[in-house]
Amino acid sequence: MRTLVFMALPLLSSGAVIGCRTARMAAPPDIANASEVLTVSDRSAWHGSFINEGFTLGNYKVVDVDRRLTSTTGIGFGPWAKEKTTAGFSYALAAGGKKLLGKCSSVASSQAVGGFSWGHVKIACTCDGEAGKGELVIIDGARSMKVGDQEYRLEPINAAEGGATLSNPTGFRADGDVPLGAVEVMHPGQVWLKKGLDDATRATTTCTFVGLMLYRPPSDVPH
């Protein structure tokens, strides 16, 4: 008996190409000048049931990525928690012998002509951290993020390195009275965090951002 192994290149990493290279997010100056950068290493360009999708993110490790969650296996959160079409994934952010557990749920929605568009995304992510729960919700054009008791606006970034501006976001920024940070959704991804965050807020924010780094449209998830 032969076993079929599902593997596919991540859609978000191949969604935009500038010249002969994949587009990368260019951090806005106010983010770049006031943030520490968590760079990614050891991240595979492949995904699937038998692929280790973990990677290193600054001083953290993203581990235990599991894309087998569905509404029937008890995702149990998000504005659409009871919809039968809900799909999701879980993961953990590890450092110093501790793990923060994160999970995301999403539903299929109308896609833009010509392929995937972040303007037609429905996704909710949560992460249980020492600084309280991190939460993130994107429903089409409405976006918000919360870390503990602090709420932030989640705004798209369309700038790419080299001066290009893309129709699809290269990342997202979290803004309050001052920017909390930003996350790149192009492969391999990066995270920017406001300098001076306490360790607990830093970890919870990073864990919540990781949900967007791992997201793939429901149509691109193995069944």
Domain ranges for the chain: 11-220
Q: Distance (Å, rounded) from C-alpha 139 to C-alpha 157?
A: 17
Predicted confidence at residue 136, as pLDDT, reads 94
Mean pLDDT throughout 35-49? 88
At 137, the amino acid letter reads V
Percent of the chain with pLDDT strictly greater than 90: 59
Predicted confidence at residue 196, as pLDDT, reads 97
Residue 143 β-bridge partners:
138
DSSP string, 45-87: S-BSTTS---EEETTEEEEEEEEEEEGGGT---STTTT-TT-E
Task: Specify which of 70-84, 94-108, 181-195, 205-219 reaches the highest per-range mean pLDDT.
Answer: 181-195
Question: Average pLDDT of the chain?
Answer: 83
Predicted confidence at residue 79, as pLDDT, reads 58
In this prediction the pTM is: 0.84
